[in-house]
Amino acid sequence: MSVADPRILDEAAQWLARRHASDFSEVEQAALARWRSQSSQHEHVWQRAQQLQSHMGKLPSAVGMAVLNRPRLSNSRRQLLRAAAFLVTTPALGWFTYQHMPWHSWTTDYRTATGERRAFTLADGSRVELNTASAISVRMDREARRIRQHTGEILVQTSHAPEFASQPFIVETTHGQMQALGTRFIVRKHEHSTTLSVLQGAVRVTPAFFATPTVVNAGEQLRFDGHGSRPDVPLETQPDAWTLGVLYAQDMRLQDFLAEVGRYREGILRCDADIADLRVSGTYQLGDTDRILALLEQTLPVRVHQHTRYWVAITRR
């Protein structure tokens, strides 16, 4: 049998994982039924996945999730989709594949590696994009549509599907929760706080240990921790540029600029204190951080020292 469409395998892996999760809801059950009915290939892939389950007993949910959550750089994505194809279309190979792939390395529903970005659609039709080094868990039931953001940065475009209108859409971090009021917004989780940037609509923010909520409207940004928030401020220029693989800098301190670039590459990236306040402006392609560093040498009085690929220091020239 030929390998199925990788996109369908990708989606089936997620549904297989969610179907056997303890919190699989009636809402998701209905969404799965709609997914299966999209085409004969959708249904065929699902039936073969069920056959595999009967061979192996109850398939651990981590099998499905690992196919989705594995970092998808270079050949990793193709390799894991081939593995998914074996699992779904070739039951005899399923156990071998399961035993020899690191299924238990991922515990969240969706995640990205450093330098990776990823977009997907939830069961309710909402679209979520993950920036570099981000991880979330998703739960949908009769009470709410809920995203738990563990790390990183996400952009959410909520769905207006009428069948989900009665279920609030909530994003949670350790610092509090944000309820969408029909909107498009960005959430970035820092170590000690969370930043919310509202692009369209509005979002109601309730810090974890502070009962009074704040409504943030389109064009505004709010930073908050568990005990309260700072006053709303206007959005930074092009806060969603990262969704296009771009870093936009406008008169940004070099130290702050390097902190942003460092989110997209492994290792240490630092500059000397005497050049930390040099200013950087421009539009930079995040897919090639080495090129960004080379451009800094061309436009600023600095020198880039790459002691190794993972340890880069910038000094005054």
Q: What is the mean pLDDT of residues 256-274?
A: 95
Q: What is the pLDDT of residue 8?
A: 75
Single out the residue of 39, 54, 51, 36 nearest to residue 90, CA to CA. 51
**pLDDT beyond 50 at 2:** no
Q: What is the mean pLDDT of residues 207-233?
A: 90
Q: What is the pLDDT of residue 34?
A: 85
Indicate the range of 85-99, 160-174, 194-208 predicted with least confidence: 85-99
Domain boundaries, the chain: 6-107, 111-234, 245-316
Q: What is the pLDDT of residue 29?
A: 83
Q: What is the pLDDT of residue 51?
A: 65
**pLDDT beyond 80 at 174:** yes
CA–CA gap between residue 241 and residue 229 (Å, rounded)? 25
CATH of 245-316, one of 3.30.1490.20, 3.40.50.720, 3.40.50.1980, 3.55.50.30: 3.55.50.30
**pLDDT beyond 70 at 68:** no
Establish how many alpha carbons lie within 13 A of residue 298's alpha carbon, considering only the half-sphere containing its beta carbon: 8
Q: What is the mean pLDDT of residues 260-283?
A: 95
Q: What is the pLDDT of residue 261?
A: 97
**pLDDT beyond 70 at 148:** yes
Establish how many alpha carbons lie within 13 A of residue 192's alpha carbon, considering only the half-sphere containing its beta carbon: 0
Q: What is the mean pLDDT of residues 47-66?
A: 51
CA–CA gap between residue 116 and residue 102 (Å, rounded)? 19
Helix (H, G, I), strand (E, B) or coil at 71: coil
Structure tokens at 89: 């279309």
Q: Which residues contact 260 (CB under 8 A, 6 or more apart)?
A: 247, 249, 252
Model confidence over 69-126: pLDDT tens digits?
444 433 444 444 444 444 444 443 343 343 334 333 345 789 999 999 999 999 899 9
Q: Are 113 and 71 in contact, with CB atoms under 8 Å apart?
A: yes
Report the length, in residues, of the chain. 317
**pLDDT beyond 80 at 154:** yes
**pLDDT beyond 90 at 175:** yes
Q: pLDDT > 90: what percent of the chain? A: 54
pLDDT band at 157 (very low <50, low <70, confident <90, very high): very high
Model confidence over 99-114: pLDDT tens digits?
334 333 345 789 999 9
Establish how many alpha carbons lie within 13 A of residue 250's alpha carbon, considering only the half-sphere containing its beta carbon: 5
Statement: 111-234 belongs to CATH 3.40.50.960 = no
Q: How crowded is residue 78: how many other Cβ atoms within 10 Å of its Cβ?
A: 11
